[in-house]
Amino acid sequence: MQHPEENPWKIKSEQQVYDNPWINLTEYQVINPSGNPGIYGKVHFKNRAIGIVPLDADLNTYLVGQYRFTLSQYCWEIPEGGGPLNEDPLDAAKRELLEETGLVAANWTAIQTMHLSNSVTDEFCLIYTATGLTQHEAEPEDTEQLTVKRLPFDDVYRMVCDGEITDSVTVTAILKVKLLLMENRIIL
């Protein structure tokens, strides 16, 4: 598909507003595409998002439950986390799966890439399936208080369709895996 390559936004100035080990917030003074002055804020992520859909031979998957500070509510999600930009994303996925669930997978397949909120952030995400699972000891980070559930994949698909799961990485991953299963493109 053809699209213009030229950026219609003109940056007049930029100022770092906030910085921590995970994110950076910059405010830009701009001339917008219509030629008018304005401001734009951008959250830069210092890690890439990683999501994993572990699938066992009986077509069960694993969800991780935790209280999400930003939403002030408990959420169910696939195993997910962040990987430094200079780290191989697959290595980050393997680490996150082990940390959160104690699972180690023999087979990994990248199934989706996506930007999570491209109107205000540059956060990039990779999603994998993990099969050939063996159980080991979970190694959660000290900031995580997690509950892990093993459920039939179709139950998790129903939870997504019914709006019980709203995490964007999980919704995307589960819908993509359902499509791949329907097309017989996942080998357990």
Whether residue 59 lies inside any domain: the answer is: yes
How much of the chain, in percent, has pLDDT values that exceed 90? 91
pLDDT, mean of residues 103-107: 98
What's the confidence (pLDDT) of residue 1? Answer: 79
Phi/psi at 160 (nearest 5 deg)? -65, -50
Whether residue 132 lies inside any domain: the answer is: yes
Domain CATH code at residue 85: 3.90.79.10
The answer on 119 and 51 residing in a single domain is yes
Residue 3 tokens read as 């699209």
The answer on 60 and 18 residing in a single domain is no
Residues 6+ apart with CB under 8 A from 18: 24, 25
* H/E segment holding residue 188: none
The letter for the amino acid at 188 is L
Whether residue 127 lies inside any domain: the answer is: yes
139 pLDDT exceeds 90? no
Whether residue 84 lies inside any domain: the answer is: yes
The answer on 63 and 39 residing in a single domain is no
Q: What is the pLDDT of residues 155-186, one digit of tens each?
A: 999 999 999 999 999 999 999 999 999 999 99
Whether residue 187 lies inside any domain: the answer is: no
The answer on 78 and 133 residing in a single domain is yes
Q: What is the pLDDT of residues 39-84, one digit of tens each?
A: 999 999 999 999 999 999 999 999 999 999 999 999 999 999 999 9
The answer on 68 and 137 residing in a single domain is yes
User: Under a CB-based contact definition with an 8 Å cutoff, are residues 157 and 72 in contact?
Assistant: no
What's the confidence (pLDDT) of residue 5? Answer: 84
pLDDT, mean of residues 97-117: 97
Residue 27 sits in which domain range? 10-45
4 pLDDT exceeds 90? no
What domain count does the chain have? 2
Whether residue 2 lies inside any domain: the answer is: no
The answer on 138 and 70 residing in a single domain is yes
What's the confidence (pLDDT) of residue 3? Answer: 82
**Per-residue confidence band for 118, with pLDDT thresholds at 50, 70 and 90:** very high
The answer on 177 and 91 residing in a single domain is yes
Rounded to the nearest integer, the mean pLDDT of the chain is 95
Whether residue 4 lies inside any domain: the answer is: no
The answer on 132 and 58 residing in a single domain is yes
The answer on 101 and 116 residing in a single domain is yes
The answer on 41 and 70 residing in a single domain is no
